[in-house]
Amino acid sequence: MIGKLTGIVDTVDEDGVILDVNGVGYLVQASARTLSALGKTDDFATVFTEMQVSENDMRLIGFATREERDWFRLLTGVQGVGGKVGLAILSAIEPADLALAIGSGDAAMVARAN
């Protein structure tokens, strides 16, 4: 499994980034929060990753921090919450705020995510 990538930001779009690691371009999906933290093209960046494999797809998902990756793992462990929903939640809510929302039973805050 790939746990972390460090390289140069090649391309960034609304869904992810291509991170050039020694000449190999890894396509990494990411939350809006992570994409904004990575910087711009030609910046040096590190992403903590989670690989999701299904019957007909394999994707690498990246996070700016280990904390965000850990929250993604927790969220996708909930029945009905897949990778896209997990990323949408983390795009809308910071991990610290997510912990408060869950601790206080504030479903409205989590529902803000698309």
pLDDT (tens digit per residue) in 10-61: 999 888 999 999 999 999 999 888 999 988 899 999 999 999 988 898 999 9
Residue 108 has pLDDT above 90, yes or no: no
Which of 37, 6, 30 has its CA nearest to residue 19? Answer: 6
Angle at 2 between CA 39 and CA 62, to 5 degrees: 30
Confidence category of residue 8, pLDDT binned at 50, 70, 90: very high
Burial class (CB in 10 A: 0-12, 13-18, 19+), 75: buried
pLDDT of residue 17: 95
Two tokens at 3?
Answer: 């746990």
Residue written as token pair 């994707």: 59
Burial class (CB in 10 A: 0-12, 13-18, 19+), 69: buried
pLDDT of residue 98: 83
Residue 113 has pLDDT above 70, yes or no: no
Which of 71, 36, 64, 39 has its CA nearest to residue 49? Answer: 64
Confidence category of residue 81, pLDDT binned at 50, 70, 90: confident
Residue 85 has pLDDT above 80, yes or no: yes
Tell how strand 16-21 and strand 4-12 pair up: antiparallel
Tell how strand 57-63 and strand 44-54 pair up: antiparallel
Length of the chain: 114
The stretch 64-92 carries a mean pLDDT of 89
